[in-house]
Amino acid sequence: MNLAAKLSGWVPWRRRSKLGRWSPTERVAFVLLVLISIFMMLPIVYIFNHAFKPYQELFVYPPNILVRDPSIQSFIELLASTKTTAVPVTRYMFNSFVVTGLSVTLITLFSAMCAYAISKHQFPGHKVVFGTILLTLVFVPETVAIPKYLVVSQLGIFNTYWGHVLPLVAVPTGVFLMKQFIDQVPGELLDSAKMDGAKEWTLFVRIIIPVVLPAIATIGIIAFQSAWQNTETSISYMQDEEMRTFPFYVETLTSGMANSVARQGALAAATLLLFLPNLIIFLAFQSKVIATMAHSGIK
């Protein structure tokens, strides 16, 4: 008996591939989904390639999606765009990182604490409070611009990081998603922990936080996107240029230019730098987002 016959005896059966078990309809649907996915990725591919295009490729018509002669000239131009100003581009980016980090931390913490109080400490009027929080979802941001300005003015936090962060802290969506998760924690579990001597902070950190981790990831993504791309606070509450953020600087890159060609390379590089953190954060936590949607009943 040769080696091939022995090996065939060790493998009594072979699994059919998943593709071979699919029906023709499933195969067609798979191909269509792949084509749609490729089509939806084209803007992302374009943003990455556009940032590395030299000037002779930036204005080609019709525009090319893929770069032919990659160059880092756009990034060099971006760094050099503030050489004649008192505030370097790195200062704007530093401000954005500080503001975004503080905003994400406070938004997730306050959303979880508020949802915990409403869900497990049903104080008189808790339904009214929760309903009022949900009611704020119907208001567009422009309707509360003046009240927020007055609050920031009364607190005296113009030209500070808190002037960036505090107007972003209240996120009704975060409270709603957190409450949906916390509602699933049995009250008996909390009562037994209290009987064992656990304090409120221990209950919140040791029991509630592990349960709401998917919601925390989702709210973190929402908070990161809103804080990282926000320009309202820089325009409304910051008079000192050194306290403004990177998205504000990106909007001013080509404003006041005598033509539509100047600084287009720097703008392409800045757009990539503004987009890249959002992409990384979403890819890192997208599985948690799916879990949150499944638990909260949102389809």
Residue 295 has what pLDDT? 57
pLDDT given for residue 290 in this prediction: 67
pLDDT for res 10: 47
Identify the CA nearest to 96 among candidates 272, 253, 235, 246: 246
pLDDT at 19: 61
Contact status, residue 242 vs residue 92, Cβ threshold 8 Å: no
> What is the SS3 assignment for 247?
helix
What predicted TM-score, i.e. pTM, was given to this entire model?
0.83
Number of H helices, E strands in the chain: 17, 0
Place of tokens 């949102």: 298
Distance (Å, rounded) from C-alpha 104 to C-alpha 221? 8
Per-residue confidence of the chain (299 residues) as pLDDT tens digits?
455 554 455 444 445 556 667 888 988 999 999 999 999 999 999 999 999 999 888 888 888 889 999 999 999 999 888 887 889 999 999 999 999 999 999 999 999 999 999 999 888 998 899 999 989 888 888 888 899 999 999 999 999 999 999 999 988 989 998 998 899 888 898 989 989 898 999 999 999 998 888 888 889 998 999 999 999 999 999 999 999 999 999 988 877 554 566 788 899 999 999 999 999 998 888 776 666 655 554 44
Q: How far apart are CA 175 and CA 251, in angstroms?
A: 32
Among candidates 115, 112, 147, which has minimal Cα distance to 134? 115
The CATH H-level superfamily of 88-245+275-297 is MetI-like (1.10.3720.10)
Domain ranges of the chain: 26-70, 88-245+275-297
For 258, the 3-state DSSP assignment is: coil
Write out the DSSP string of 58-110: HT-SSPPSS-SS--SHHHHHHHHTTTTSSS-HHHHHHHHHHHHHHHHHHHHHH
